[in-house]
């Protein structure tokens, strides 16, 4: 592995920011970090003490069955109580919890008192439809307040939520619903995206056709109290949320949960064809998202915090809902596209709602750069005090643009590295402390002890990222597949380190530079897509004999997908029609966002003599790099013909 990035600019936290930050000196960070590593029991015990527990834990960490770690063993709590009730009854009852804007410009505000009422009512509707603690519920909603409300309502009564990003196809819904045996699907009559309405309910109808486990589909109207959008309802199964809500009380006590009870499943792509249900539990995830939000976003009483992710991904779970709300923060939520009605929309939202913290993905930043400075220059953005990025490595050029154009050279940038599996951020600057370098996620958060290793387990400057000891937010497993959990994350280095699947470099200051995945997972616009997943979709087509999908650098998306497709019979060229069919198949089986940039039809693929496709060579072809070693190829001529096809 090679890291070609050399960046030596350093940006210190502005003095004005440092002065009021929760943590404001490198010495304090180092001391807290040392303590968190040497004595995790007392560090995390203290952190958890800021939250509400019905019963205090007996032990902070039980690692006797590693890698199946348990945190806050014996403790009983409820994360919805911590995120909502704690604020709804005190002097923050009137504080804004959610400030929401729809794509067409409609707005809603929920105070913490409103949120408690809405969540309780939602929870009572779930109960009235037979949902009990431990049941799993799939949620397929647009970015409307009810998405956050539904998630919190599940947590309130101990139902396990499995949120499915509303861009996934019917087939993906089916796979996830069946894998988790979800008893209910919560969806909506529609949501706005780039000026059109997403027909969510009909996608769900198609998705659950063969899912006998689903007893009810609960349909939330996009416009509460207003006009409903057109959708078909099935008498014995489908229920309008507003009608059910009218008949229940808005008082619903929180269920006392064991710290290790399952809070949610979230499916993510790995290096096999089947997405995996990542398991997170109540106590550890709660404490970890609470503390990371507090320190990494330096949340203060009057912040208006905006994370642009969708709640359908882990970023939205941890840093729209659970983290900021457990800190009693005001969260801005936006339904639609960043360039609707024009590419100034995000900046208009920042000014209009006076957002102080803005957290987005590098792919969005690169899109803004492409749309032109005039859109961002039109707005003041003077409410902003902190910026963040997540989802993929940020190129220094995009970092500098973000720093100058959005942050006006005044706002620190926290480049946060983490994953669905880690529950919360593991590597990030602390904004009042850490000198930042464009492109580096800098240093570990408390309790995180990372290293860069070679396969033999020796520390190297560039190699595989590894995490030495567990932290409270670590995944507890893969739903229904303990073996895959062990194989995927714990098979290297005698199981002594968590292996995230990323490569990294460590510089002389000890800063981490995450360079990207080292497995067959591609990060497209911050969405994780397994190449094997796409390959298995392609080979379902009767004309396709074999296929290899690779990730290639992409100017806006970070990475794009290229599929090399070997057709059955003698047809080596494929038609545009077939290309369309394959694209449609991907949209149908996974979702539109997973469609490849390019499909190359070929009569052959470069293979070793034992028949293994040499993806490394395909990558060289796609990136125009000098070809690596071709001596092991069964037929070296294949590469030349592919090169010609790729560039034509
Ligand atoms: O490769 C890393 C990349 O995104 C992967 C995790 O994807 P996902 O589980 O979908 O979660 C995304 C949001 C947390 C990682 O394995 N990644 C995420 N953040 C960064 C990153 N790569 C470099 N720098 C980051 N800040």
Give the separation between CA 551 and CA 618, rounded to whole angstroms: 10
* 427 C-beta closer than 6 A to ligand 1: no
Q: Which residue has the higher pLDDT, 607 or 506?
A: 506
* 317 C-beta closer than 6 A to ligand 1: no
pLDDT for residue 221 = 97
Mean pLDDT of 108-115: 98
Positive or negative torsion for Cα 580, 582, 588, 590: negative
CA of 76 to the centre of ligand 1 (A): 31
- Which residue is closest in CA terms to ligand 1's atom 11? 419
* 528 C-beta closer than 6 A to ligand 1: yes
Q: Which residue in the block uniquely carries the two structure tokens 């057109």?
A: 230
Q: Which atom of ligand 1 is nearest to the CA of 527?
A: 10
Residue 236 CB partners (closer than 8 Å, separation 6+) = none
Burial (0-12, 13-18, 19+ Cβ within 10 Å), 322: buried
What would the pLDDT profile of 471-489 be if each residue is shown by its tens digit? Answer: 999 999 999 999 999 999 9
* 356 C-beta closer than 6 A to ligand 1: no
Q: Which atom of ligand 1 is nearest to the CA of 389?
A: 26
- Which residue is closest in CA terms to ligand 1's atom 25? 417
618-624's contacts with Cβ under 8 Å and 24+ in sequence apart are 618/548, 618/550, 618/562, 618/564, 618/642, 619/550, 619/551, 619/552, 621/646, 622/550, 622/552, 622/562, 622/646, 623/552, 623/553
What would the pLDDT profile of 381-416 be if each residue is shown by its tens digit? Answer: 999 999 999 999 999 999 999 999 999 999 999 999
Give the separation between CA 640 and CA 532, rounded to whole angstroms: 25
CA of 528 to the centre of ligand 1 (A): 8
* 415 C-beta closer than 6 A to ligand 1: yes
Q: What are phi and psi of 200, to 5 degrees?
A: -60, -45
| pLDDT band of 602, cuts 50, 70, 90 | confident
Q: Is the pLDDT of residue 570 over 80?
A: no
CA of 416 to the centre of ligand 1 (A): 8
Task: Write the DSSP assignment of 238-254 as a string of letters.
Answer: EEEHHHHHTTS-S--PP
Task: Extract the tokens encoding 153.
Answer: 């309502």
Q: Which residue has the higher pLDDT, 528 or 149?
A: 149
* 144 C-beta closer than 6 A to ligand 1: no
Q: What are phi and psi of 468, to 5 degrees?
A: -75, -40
Q: Which atom of ligand 1 is nearest to the CA of 514?
A: 23
Give pTM, 2 decimals. Answer: 0.94
- Indicate the top mutation candidate among 313, 323, 366, 418 to test ligand 1's pocket, ranked by most ligand atoms within 8 A of CB: 418
Task: Extract the tokens encoding 211.
Answer: 């899912």
Report CA dihedral (170, 171, 176, 179) to the nearest 10 degrees: 140
Give the separation between CA 267 and CA 177, rounded to whole angstroms: 11
Give the separation between CA 447 and CA 464, rounded to whole angstroms: 19
Residue 256 CB partners (closer than 8 Å, separation 6+) = 54, 55, 76, 77, 78
Q: Which residue in the block uniquely carries the two structure tokens 């994780």?
A: 528
CA proximity to 111, closest of 98, 101, 129, 124: 98
Q: Which atom of ligand 1 is nearest to the CA of 500?
A: 16
Q: Which domains does the chain have, with CATH numbers?
A: 519-647 (3.30.300.30)
- Which residue is closest in CA terms to ligand 1's atom 10? 528
Give the C-alpha distances (Å, rounded to integers) separating 260 from 69, 168, 418. Answer: 10, 29, 22
* 314 C-beta closer than 6 A to ligand 1: yes
| pLDDT band of 4, cuts 50, 70, 90 | low
pLDDT for residue 526 = 84
CA of 361 to the centre of ligand 1 (A): 10
CA of 391 to the centre of ligand 1 (A): 4
């Amino acid at each position: 592995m090679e890291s070609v990035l050399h960046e030596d600019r350093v940006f210190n936290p502005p003095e004005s920011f440092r002065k009021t930050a929760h943590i404001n000196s490198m010495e304090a960070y180092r001391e807290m970090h040392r303590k968190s590593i040497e004595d995790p029991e007392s560090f995390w015990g203290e952190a958890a003490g800021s939250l509400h527990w019905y019963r205090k834990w007996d032990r902070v960490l039980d690692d006797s069955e590693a890698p199946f770690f348990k945190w806050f063993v014996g403790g009983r709590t409820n994360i919805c109580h911590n995120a909502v009730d704690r604020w709804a009854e005190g002097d923050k009852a009137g504080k804004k919890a959610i400030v929401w804007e729809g794509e067409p410009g409609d707005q809603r505000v929920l105070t913490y008192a409103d949120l408690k009422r809405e969540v309780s009512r939602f929870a009572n509707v779930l109960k009235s439809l037979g949902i009990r603690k431990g049941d799993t519920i799939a949620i397929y909603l647009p970015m409307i307040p009810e998405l956050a409300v539904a998630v919190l309502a599940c947590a309130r009564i101990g139902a396990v939520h499995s949120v499915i990003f509303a861009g996934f196809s019917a087939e993906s819904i089916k796979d996830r619903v069946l894998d988790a045996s979800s008893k209910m699907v919560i969806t909506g009559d529609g949501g706005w995206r780039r000026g059109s309405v997403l027909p969510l309910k009909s996608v769900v109808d198609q998705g659950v056709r063969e899912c006998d486990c689903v007893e009810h589909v609960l349909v939330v109207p996009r416009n509460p109290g207003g006009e409903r959008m057109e959708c078909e309802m099935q008498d014995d199964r489908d229920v309008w949320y507003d009608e059910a809500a009218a008949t229940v009380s808005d008082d619903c006590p929180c269920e006392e949960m064991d710290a290790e009870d399952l809070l949610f499943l979230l499916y993510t792509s790995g290096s096999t064809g089947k997405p995996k249900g990542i398991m997170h539990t109540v106590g550890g995830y709660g404490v970890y998202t609470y503390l990371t939000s507090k320190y990494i976003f330096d949340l203060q009483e009057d912040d208006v915090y905006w994370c642009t992710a969708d709640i359908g991904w882990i970023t939205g779970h941890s840093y729209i809902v659970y983290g900021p709300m457990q800190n009693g923060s005001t969260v801005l939520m936006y339904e639609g596209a960043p360039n609707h009605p024009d590419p100034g929309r995000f900046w208009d939202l920042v000014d209009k709602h006076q957002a102080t913290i803005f957290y987005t993905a590098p792919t969005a930043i690169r899109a803004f750069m492409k749309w032109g400075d005039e859109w961002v220059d039109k707005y003041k953005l003077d409410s902003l005090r902190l910026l963040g990025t997540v989802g993929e490595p940020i190129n220094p050029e995009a970092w500098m643009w973000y720093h100058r154009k959005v942050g006006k050279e005044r706002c620190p940038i926290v480049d946060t590295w983490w994953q669905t599996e880690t529950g919360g951020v593991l590597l990030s600057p602390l904004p009042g402390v850490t000198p930042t370098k464009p492109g580096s996620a800098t240093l570990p958060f408390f309790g995180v002890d990372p290293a860069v290793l070679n396969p033999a387990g020796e520390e190297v400057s560039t190699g595989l990222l590894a995490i030495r000891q567990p932290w409270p937010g670590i995944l507890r497993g893969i739903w229904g597949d303990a073996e895959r959990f062990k194989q995927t994350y714990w098979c290297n280095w005698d199981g002594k380190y968590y292996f995230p699947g990323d490569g990294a470099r460590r510089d002389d200051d000890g800063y981490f530079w995450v360079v990207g995945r080292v497995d067959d997972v591609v990060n497209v616009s911050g969405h994780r897509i397994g190449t094997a997943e796409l390959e298995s979709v392609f080979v379902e087509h009767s004309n396709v004999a074999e296929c290899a999908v690779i990730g290639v650098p992409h100017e806006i998306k970070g990475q794009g997908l290229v599929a090399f497709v070997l057709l059955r019979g003698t047809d080596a060229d494929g038609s545009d029609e077939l290309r369309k069919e394959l694209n449609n198949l991907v949209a149908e089986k996974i979702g539109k966002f997973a469609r490849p940039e390019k499909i190359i039809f070929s009569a052959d693929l470069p293979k070793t003599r034992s028949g293994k496709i040499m993806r490394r060579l395909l990558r060289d072809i796609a990136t125009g790099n000098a070809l690596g070693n071709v001596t092991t190829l069964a037929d070296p001529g294949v590469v030349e013909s592919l090169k010609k096809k790729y560039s034509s």
